[in-house]
């Protein structure tokens, strides 16, 4: 049973290792995918509360940004044609949706999100390294205990 436990723990460790390598190798594709999906969410934005619109509003209001690259990204959307900028783009809290570019945040959300992700990458790497160390210790101790039990040839009573 200990050997089986150690094998499963080794398998999980290898899956985590492969996932980390794939994430590192394809990090640029992940950035491009995020940007494309964010731009798609802007084009399909509506104020009815679907999950994409809620995500766009949450990102824009939390990070004080507007659009993917800048506020001009909204000008190509149906929402802007009908109602103007969404409330989440506004610099002040109580502004209503409008078309005045001076009252909205100028900076785009993509750069801000990528900056936050890159700044927190050290923390993620540190936690991942710590988890990996505990897994390796668990694998090593399980094999040691299994070997000690096998070498001592305990009798079943």
| Whole-number percent of the chain with pLDDT over 90 | 21
Domains of the chain: 1-151 (1.10.1450.10)
Residue 156 pLDDT: 58
pLDDT at 36: 92
Neighbours of 3 (CB within 10 A): 13
Give the CA angle between residues 143, 147, 150 to the nearest 5°: 140
pLDDT value of residue 121: 82
- pLDDT for 118-130, tens place per residue? 888 888 888 888 8
Token digits of residue 115: 């900056």
Coil, helix or strand for 130?
helix
Q: What is the pLDDT of residue 75?
A: 86
Distance CA 152, CA 157 (A): 15
β-strand partners of 107:
70
Token look-up 């570019």 returns 101
Cβ proximity of 70 and 64 under 8 Å: no
Per-residue pLDDT of the chain (157 residues; tens, 9 = 90+): 888 999 999 999 999 889 888 888 888 888 899 999 988 988 888 867 788 888 888 999 899 999 889 888 888 888 888 888 888 888 877 676 677 777 888 898 999 999 988 888 888 888 888 898 999 999 999 999 888 888 776 555 5
Evaluate whether 135 touches 13 at the Cβ level (below 8 Å): yes
pTM of the model: 0.70
The separation between CA 41 and the C-alpha centre of its own chain, rounded to angstroms, equals: 16
Residue of 76, 94, 96 lying closest to 86 (CA atoms): 96
- Predicted pLDDT at 154: 57
């Amino acid at each position: 049973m200990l050997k089986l436990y150690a094998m499963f723990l080794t398998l999980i460790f290898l899956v985590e290792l492969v996932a980390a390598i794939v994430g590192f190798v394809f990090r640029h594709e992940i950035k491009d995918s995020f940007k494309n999906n964010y731009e798609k969410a802007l084009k399909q934005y509506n104020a009815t509360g679907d999950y994409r619109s809620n995500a766009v509003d949450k990102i824009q209001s939390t990070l004080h940004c507007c659009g993917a690259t800048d506020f001009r990204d909204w000008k190509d959307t149906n929402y802007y044609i009908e109602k103007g900028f969404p409330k989440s783009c506004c610099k002040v809290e109580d502004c209503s949706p409008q078309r005045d570019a001076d009252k909205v945040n100028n900076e785009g959300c993509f750069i801000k999100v990528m900056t936050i992700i890159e700044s927190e990458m050290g923390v993620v790497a540190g936690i991942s390294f710590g988890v990996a160390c505990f897994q390796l210790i668990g694998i090593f101790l399980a094999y040691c205990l299994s070997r000690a039990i096998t070498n001592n040839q305990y009798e079943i009573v």
